[in-house]
């Protein structure tokens, strides 16, 4: 990679990062090429030349958030044995990320879902695809724990994932809005109690 290309990639990374910060603070609709350009001291045309349209930048933000989320929560857990060790590691990492990251920034998945729940369009579709892929990965992980015999044979993976998501939404709400310093500990206890109801 030559110096010019490397600089362009670094600039694009900075643009997506600035746009993500804007989205986390004000919502995906707050992202505009001009707003991001102003934050970085770039021209609007300079931003456009690296990311294209506003919609392309919004899409890039959702995809980058998804990559970071999976890198923190899902990918490391794949090193654990399939079944409960892997499932528990995913939940522990999810709780930790919510405590250490989303508590301060908000969660793009959750905020974006509320922002786009009543509208149609490509951006909603991109966000929907990211979230449903994540849910599908969780369901597969739960199913593996059923197959290993650690969870009851009649366990409904979709129900478990729905309840997991409820735990995480509560943690984020209590940490950010109620400013409860025990939110992460409560989430851990709730998960353990929830899991116990499915153990074989």
Residues 65 and 152 in one domain: yes
Q: Provide the 10 A C-beta neighbour count for residue 143.
A: 15
Domain end marker among 52, 71, 95:
52
d(CA 151, CA 135): 18
Burial 115-125 (b: 16+ CB within 10 A, else e): bbeeeeeebbe
Q: pTM for this structure? A: 0.89
pLDDT band, residue 7 (cuts 50/70/90): low
Domain end marker among 10, 26, 52:
52
Residues 39 and 122 in one domain: no
CATH, residue 137: 1.10.357.10
Tens digit of pLDDT for each residue in 32-91? Answer: 999 999 988 888 888 888 888 899 999 999 999 999 999 999 999 999 999 999 999 999
Residues 183 and 97 in one domain: yes
Structural domain count, the chain? 2
3-state SS assignment for residue 151: strand
> Among residues 162, 160, 172, 168, which one has the least CA distance to residue 196?
160
Per-residue confidence (pLDDT) for residue 46, from 0 to 100: 84
Beta-carbon-side half-sphere exposure of residue 79 (alpha carbons within 13 Å): 6
Q: Determine what percent of the chain is predicted with pLDDT higher than 90.
A: 75
Mean pLDDT of the 175-188 span = 97
Q: The tokens 């060790």 sit on which residue?
A: 85
Q: The tokens 């990320």 sit on which residue?
A: 97
* Strand-pair partners of 151: 199
**Chain centroid offset of residue 195 CA:** 22
Residues 87 and 128 in one domain: yes
Per-residue confidence (pLDDT) for residue 138, from 0 to 100: 97
* Domain span at 119: 55-196
Q: Provide the 10 A C-beta neighbour count for residue 89.
A: 19
pLDDT band, residue 170 (cuts 50/70/90): very high
Per-residue confidence (pLDDT) for residue 12, from 0 to 100: 85
Per-residue confidence (pLDDT) for residue 4, from 0 to 100: 53
Sequence-ordered list of residues with C-beta below 8 angstroms from that of 168, at least 6 positions apart, any chain: 94, 95, 98, 187
Domain end marker among 52, 77, 94:
52
Residues 147 and 105 in one domain: yes
Tens digit of pLDDT for each residue in 77-114? Answer: 999 999 999 999 999 999 999 999 999 999 999 998 99
């Amino acid at each position: 990679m030559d110096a010019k290309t490397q600089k362009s990639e670094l600039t694009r990374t900075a643009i997506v990062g600035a746009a993500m910060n804007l989205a986390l603070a004000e919502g995906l609709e707050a992202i505009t090429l001009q707003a991001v350009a102003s934050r970085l001291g770039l021209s609007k045309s300079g931003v456009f030349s690296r990311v294209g349209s506003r919609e392309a930048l919004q899409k890039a933000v959702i995809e980058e958030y998804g990559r970071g989320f999976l890198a923190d929560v899902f990918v490391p857990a794949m090193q654990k044995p399939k079944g409960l060790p892997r499932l528990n590691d995913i939940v522990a990492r999810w709780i930790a990320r919510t405590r250490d990251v989303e508590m301060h920034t908000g969660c793009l998945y959750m905020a974006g879902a509320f922002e786009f729940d009543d509208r149609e369009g490509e951006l909603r579709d991109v966000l929907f695809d990211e979230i449903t892929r994540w849910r599908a990965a969780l369901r597969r992980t739960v199913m593996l724990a059923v197959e290993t015999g650690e969870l009851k044979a009649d366990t409904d993976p979709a129900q478990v994932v729905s309840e997991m998501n409820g735990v995480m939404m509560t943690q984020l709400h209590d940490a950010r809005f109620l400013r409860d310093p025990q939110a992460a500990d409560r989430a851990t206890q709730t998960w353990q109690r929830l899991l116990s109801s499915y153990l074989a």
